[in-house]
Amino acid sequence: MRNFGLGKKSLEQWVTTEASCLCTANKARCPFSPKTLLNRAVCNVISSLIYAPRFEYDDQRLAKILHLLEDALKEHFGLVPMVRVPVGH
């Protein structure tokens, strides 16, 4: 991860840029969901770090990526109902 900028000063630049965008988006939306905006901001920092471009907060591709990620995490970490199989039947 250090090769991608983790722990280097350049990461601070991406976070600062995204924080500015987040503040602007926060002012433009009333009422707003902080979870949605923060998820999109974090996704944009990672995207900027790996791919260079960032998404606008109203970009439907970003919404789709976050929706798919949330579904995948729910399936992976969610509670799966356990079925009891009677022993000896």
User: Mind listing the pLDDT tens digit for each residue in 24-66?
Assistant: 877 766 676 688 888 888 888 888 888 878 888 889 998 998 8
pTM of the model: 0.62
Quote the Cα angle for 33-37-42, to 5°.
145
CA dihedral 27, 28, 33, 39 (to 10 degrees): -90
Whether 72 contacts 60, CB under 8 Å: no
pLDDT of residue 64: 93
Q: How many helices (H) and strands (E) does the chain have?
A: 3, 0
Q: In the structure, what pLDDT confidence band is assigned to residue 7 with cuts at 50, 70 and 90?
A: low
pLDDT of residue 35: 83
